[in-house]
């Protein structure tokens, strides 16, 4: 397979940072490889992305010493499935390295990159397609998100310090979709501790578009989240 990609117009690529250890999940192995409904968590994630025809390719960015991926996700291969062992110390660094890898493989500054958390394994192809449809002609790009429904509390030392007005508050999800060149600039300016791509874009003075996501598109973080994902996947 050639590393150069041909075609007119802006294309869409997915980038999945997959270099973390998931220590908060309390699992014996990196959480992306914990089995859920018979498959490694990240295998569900990649299957959903593979089912989106408008994605030219999906790049998974692994830790440099990762020796498990091919064993846990043997079906991830072919011209639309790319792997790079260029993970960084932080998520932001891993994404930056992944953007460089995409550029080296022929992606252009004007092409779209959909960054998606490996741990959001319940994502559906139709939600990803909705994001593409609503952002493909946007000047900035955008992200899946859901309006906050719960009452929000600000805590201090284990007690409520205040109630936070939830009006206009959204919970950010992924994928987050931005032009490759713009995202490279934003992440370079934002530094290594930025928690999501939209935050880096906002720091440039731009306003990403909010595209309705779904409550099921939650990020598996705690051990209880894995039990919930198992139940939801078994219902399908």
Q: Domain spanning 12-136+174-208+218-235 has what CATH number?
A: 3.90.550.10
Q: Give the separation between CA 23 and CA 25, rounded to whole angstroms.
A: 5
CA atoms within 13 A on the CB side of 11: 17
Cβ count near 107 (within 10 Å): 25
Give one DSSP letter per residue of 128-191, joined into a string: HHHHHHHHTT-SSEEEEEEE--SPEEEEETTEEEEEEP-TT-EEEEEEEEEEHHHHHHHHHHH-
More confident residue, 26 or 234: 234
The pLDDT of residue 236 is: 62
pLDDT tens digit sequence for 47-57: 999 999 999 99
More confident residue, 110 or 24: 110
The pLDDT of residue 84 is: 97
The pLDDT of residue 4 is: 40
Q: Give the separation between CA 225 and CA 36, rounded to whole angstroms.
A: 11
pLDDT tens digit sequence for 62-116: 999 999 999 999 989 889 999 999 999 999 999 999 999 999 999 999 999 999 9
Domain boundaries, the chain: 12-136+174-208+218-235
The pLDDT of residue 110 is: 97
Model pTM score: 0.92
pLDDT tens digit sequence for 168-215: 999 999 999 999 999 999 999 997 778 999 999 999 999 999 999 999
CA 15 to chain centre: 7
């Amino acid at each position: 397979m050639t590393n150069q990609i041909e075609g007119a117009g802006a294309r869409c690529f997915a980038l999945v940072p997959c270099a973390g250890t998931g220590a908060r999940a309390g699992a014996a192995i990196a959480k992306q490889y914990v089995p859920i409904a018979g498959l490694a968590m990240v295998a569900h994630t990649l299957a959903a992305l593979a089912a989106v025809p408008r994605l030219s390719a999906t790049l998974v960015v692994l830790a440099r010493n990762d020796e498990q991926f091919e064993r846990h996700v043997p079906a991830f291969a072919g011209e639309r499935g790319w792997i790079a062992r260029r993970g960084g110390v932080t998520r932001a660094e891993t994404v930056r390295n992944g953007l460089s890898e995409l550029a080296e493989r022929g992606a252009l500054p004007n092409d779209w990159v959909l960054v998606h958390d490996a741990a959001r394994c319940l994502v559906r192809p139709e939600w990803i397609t909705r994001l593409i449809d609503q952002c493909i002609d946007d000047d900035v790009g955008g992200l899946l998100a859901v309006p906050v429904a719960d009452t929000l509390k600000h805590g201090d030392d284990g007690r409520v310090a205040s109630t936070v007005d939830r009006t206009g508050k959204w919970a950010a999800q992924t994928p987050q979709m931005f032009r490759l060149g713009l995202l490279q600039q934003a992440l370079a300016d934002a530094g290594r501790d930025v928690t999501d791509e939209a935050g880096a874009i906002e720091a440039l003075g731009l306003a990403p578009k909010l595209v309705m996501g779904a409550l099921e598109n939650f990020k598996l973080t705690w051990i209880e989240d894995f039990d919930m994902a198992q139940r939801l996947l078994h219902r399908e």
